[in-house]
Structure 1
């Protein structure tokens, strides 16, 4: 059986999430990160990259390269939320999924051809499900070994796919720049260039022992990579232990009505995340950060595990009601933890009355509509004013 490893890489992830949530940003050069001159760019949209804007670049330089660039603060809670949805999609195809970062993962696709057809079709189906679930695009690379799968995912970005088949590996590697090999940083790449090694073919022109003498233990690893050898497989990532959402306000506030509306919006996000992953938790936690950056958390453990948006919200609101709020609030968030082992799906007849009630028909209906038409398709009446303010 042919071994296949897939590398799935979300396209300009942070920037794409902002453009997904804010239609007015779409098609415009955008950078996520700080907005002051001392800040750096965390991620750049493809529109901004055309001007040379890249991650880790100073905001001052980004503005110089692209005077019209939109600078927006990052929302890691939101990015993690969508990342969780992506990982859940990948686990629909294979139980062996390793999350490498918030926007990339490896998947062991060995044997999936029996279920989904050729490896090309496996990649296309994954891309389609990610887009259907999140509204975002990803790029997929496939190869018999891990490091080549990662390289392949970058070949046809964005929204691309590239497959390196076993009989194509030698030709692909022959002209591959050594700097493209994972683990070869800029400093090592420059050292190798001074030694006359610019491609993998140059590495193979000398024996393994030569490279071990010149650059140490990694010299042997480098020689193996040039031959297409990578013993590393896919190590499944441990399952999540919590789900949370939080927001930092543009202006600090002590208005309980505003804070309560944010809790409702966050409870919706957490509830949808739990239901999408098949999790239920017992403990609801409220997080509050004040204007002076002091932070507190308050938790309540429920009688039964839940994924209900309403119950998560009501519990978080009750915890908020117990706070005196002597200072203005700059951040509020809600989370659910205390997951039990992922259960098999129960029918309503098998579930206990309490658990059957927890996953309400309204929640499931809203989830279905948003999966098909996007997160903005359905908005609770209580959140209309909040949504309008976020769009202004």
Structure 2
């Protein structure tokens, strides 16, 4: 309760949406900068986000964005391999990186008076990456082993990978972020260097500094360290192949002897969250929460409590993307219930919802939960930095990020129903079964 009161008090001086001032500006070389102030602790998070992820990879080179993320820790003309992270750790900080479909991001959490140090090192590897053939061979083995551990050893991960490939027939979202194994094995120095020289430029990057930072001091440091790096005048437009209209339902099944708990999944292609037009995405966010969020969700009450058909259900909308997103459902059947029966029950619940719509009290409860979650997240400056970074790399603006919490609260049940009718078309769905092999006598 004390933490909630503190969070609420922080809202008052700065309006209803955010806990502290947010300042944005652009350097002469095109690098965008966002400063999120939170002076409660003498620490900062620096994040550099590149508008380049796995969906920007050349055909036949899946996994190169993630591969390059690993290689950026190998060294520069002035830093030895591993020296970047060792230096951050020696100054009491932490660092890491991650890759997604639409972005690659690098971050450090460190004492506020060390911000200049991590800016200097991050700017260095933006411009001066040094890669040897040994670095390539070693790190390629690392990412292949990562694929073994995270994907090949997990039937659920293999299943999700294939669901994505069936959902996106033409768009690069259909390829896994980590890459297809046979293409990962062929990644070489030329592929990594080409991706680096194309996309790792200040005019394709966003610097987020969150925490105990003064915007003018951040501006001076950014101009000193990132400002001298030249823009890439040949930065390509983010034009990707798009999906053709889906005219028929798609289905797949994956059998794996390691499956102990079968389940059914269904996915629908859905509009992404667009700048200046976020209401449909907000309606889909609420729809997913109504259907699968918590013990009182529509799916949970119908399939677990009323019919005893499922032991677990889920629904989510991954709308934060540059191109078309998806609305997904999962039903894990109870013992003795077949996947066909679980799928039929899911279909009945979705059809029923389209006829009756959301319960008003349930909708208000979901909105309250989302508002509370948004308030709690303000307590974590790294989470705030991630929120802005993800949004800006995927076509949204600072104003869009700040407007989002209020838009969620404004959405009506009619808007939710319009979004549901637009997306929940069985002919435009992908349904998958994950199960163990049939037992033969």
Which protein, 1 or 2, shows the higher relative CO under an 8 Å CA cutoff with sep ≥ 6? 2
